[in-house]
Amino acid sequence: MKKTETPGRIGPLEYAAGGVVGLLTLLLPLKFASLAVMPEATSFFPGYWSAYIDITWPAHSFGLFSGAALFLALAVFGWRAASPLRSPCGRTMLLWALGLPLAALPGLINCDTPDYGIWEILHLAGVGAYLWALYLVLACRPEWRKTFLWLLAAGAGLVVYSGLRQYFVGFAETREFARRQYEEGILISEILRIKLEDDRVFATFASCNVLAGYLVLVIPPVCYTLWRFGDRFEPEKVSRPLLAGIGAVFLGAVLLLTRGRGALLAAVLAAAGFVLTLPMRRLWRAGLIALAVFTIAGGVVFAHCAGRGFGSVAERVDYLKTSFTMVMEKPLAGHGWGGFFYRHMQLKTTGTDEAAHDPHNIVAAFATQAGIPAGLLVAFALFYPLAALGRRIFRKEADGFAVAIFWGEAAFLLHALMDVDLQIPACMALAGGLLIAALVVPRTADDAASAVGSKKWLLWLLPGVLLGVAALGGSWYTLRAELAYDGLMKYLQPQTPGDLELRVTPEKIERALRDAVAARPYSPFPWESAGDFYLMRRDYRSAERCFAEAQKRTMARPSTYERLSRIERVRGNRRRAGELLLEACRRFPGNPKYTDELKEHYPELEFNRK
């Protein structure tokens, strides 16, 4: 047996690097759980700093912190860490930290709207920087793994508090806030209106479904952490199940309040898989299999008779049909990031006007928009660490924490194949971080000596630095672009009393539009927003100019054709207006707004969906 390295004295710089990574781990589900790739909207930027204590931070701000954490970790631990290629833990880190951003790069080739591709890659770079920093910390200080898991548990506890408070108090407060906004003349966004009609808990996350995905990931390791904490109290036979049970009840309650059917299915399947690995008689095993089947069947019946039905299931099946078509059309480089949004509008067969931005499947998201090779690389990055961890479990080489993480990761992977977990920094960073924590092993004395004496660590310094630059610089870039766009939207769509007090003049709008375009010259979204504003004000000349500028940047968006059609109809150019509206219908045939408008105003134009 190899002699493990005896932990030496911990220096202040090590505490600093570990502390930064630990603080990020705690803050991930609280501040970085919003959608990262939504360039047509802006994050919320309040006018006073104290508000950031309560609100979720812009998703792309995560790269600022993770990039800084990586630079600090490289400076403190980079020269001491062995080559990542030498261990399953290091290879997992490389697959997630470098493999995912690299797999996303081909998605720029056929990208109709560069915003989607740029933001996707920078989002993954921010996640990768955190994972690399975490790997360096845990590889050199594996005894800190327990601290990582306690921080994970603390973050989960705060999410539980937020979810329960939202259910019992928050929804009522939100409806009262919306009522005051309406009375003050502030327009309520469509997203807020939908949330006002829904009482599914989402806590600090972008939606109830991604919160459910986070919960199925963390419930097993958090409950096991509480189980081990019970060792401190006598009798252990009582304290262990009591503490773990309390944690499971609270986390499970919030999971149920999300009413995420995909997450519940993933949790049941993972729990069944875990139970079946335990030694037991065949009769018990058969009974548990039957119980799992009846649980799933009961959930199906409840969803059909008393729940929300299976509309979203039909939508997800439709996403997979579109994904298959897209992969066959462009197998090597995909349709480009954002391509699913445009192609699915043309291919969808369900009777809703929903325009999904993502196929709700992490592998399909890459395969359809960055090509089959990218999808295969992502699939390998997801399944390799689970296979390595499963091998350890099978050989009885894994401890209880690793087993708990394995089943949480299995449930999360199932959920990521049904939802948009890819686009949530908190979900991706913690999923990768838990795999690193599960696979890390105490260093041997020989490994420590060879790492210090070798210069091979210099080979990994360059990619680490480049990833840190991409995360930190990319985050700074996207935040500046978002702030410029938000400055424009304060005039166009005021959301706060402070926005209403701004005196709107044509000069201020044009200045804000120039600033937003300068920050993202390739983006159609500032032009589209300004065009909608001018169209509402019946300034058709300015609106047409804005929509024309938007179409110079992308011709794929059906909304600009519909807006230009309205302008031409007002001007009396009936033929041109009909052609533009017909083109909007061809690009989004499932939108009843476009097809009904075509039938009403241009009955002579026939539109037959292929």
> Could you read off the pLDDT of 465-483 as tens digits, one per residue?
999 999 999 999 999 999 9
Note whether 123 and 423 are within 8 A (CB).
yes
Q: Report the predicted TM-score, pTM, of the whole model to 2 decimal places.
A: 0.93
Diameter of the chain by CA atoms?
87
Which helix (H) or strand (E) element contains residue 296? helix 282-305
User: Token pair of 68, please?
Assistant: 């800084």
Q: Report residue 294's pLDDT band, with 50, 70 and 90 as the boundaries.
A: confident
If we measure between CA atoms, which residue out of 465, 406, 444 comes closest to residue 86? 444
If we measure between CA atoms, which residue out of 491, 495, 424, 420 comes closest to residue 190? 495
Average pLDDT over residues 53-69: 93
Residues 6+ apart with CB under 8 A from 549: 524, 527
Note whether 131 and 433 are within 8 A (CB).
yes
Average pLDDT over residues 150-179: 90
Say what the pLDDT of residue 135 is.
97
| Beta bridge pairs of residue 444 | 4
Measure the CA–CA gap between 233 and 235, rounded to whole angstroms: 6
Say what the pLDDT of residue 468 is.
96
Chain mean position to CA 108: 19
Q: For residue 567, with 0-12 CB atoms within 10 Å meaning exposed, 13-18 middle and 19 or more buried, which class applies?
A: buried
CB atoms within 10 A of CB 167: 16
If we measure between CA atoms, which residue out of 199, 194, 251, 242 comes closest to residue 222? 251
Average pLDDT over residues 522-537: 95
Alpha helices in 330-359 (DSSP H): 339-347
Which sequence spans correspond to the domains of the chain?
Answer: 12-157+261-399+413-476, 478-602
Q: Report residue 7's pLDDT band, with 50, 70 and 90 as the boundaries.
A: low
Measure the CA–CA gap between 130 and 140, rounded to whole angstroms: 16
Measure the CA–CA gap between 479 and 474, rounded to whole angstroms: 8
79-127 pLDDT tens trace: 888 889 889 999 999 999 999 999 999 999 999 999 999 999 999 999 9
Architecture of domain 478-602: Alpha Horseshoe (1.25)
275-290 pLDDT tens trace: 888 777 777 667 767 7
Note whether 598 and 581 are within 8 A (CB).
yes
Say what the pLDDT of residue 172 is.
84
Say what the pLDDT of residue 1 is.
45
If we measure between CA atoms, which residue out of 120, 141, 121, 117 comes closest to residue 17? 141
DSSP letters, 239-255, are HHHHHHHHHHHHHHHHH
User: Token pair of 322, please?
Assistant: 């579109």
Note whether 532 and 559 are within 8 A (CB).
no
562-581 pLDDT tens trace: 999 999 999 999 999 999 99
Average pLDDT over residues 31-36: 94
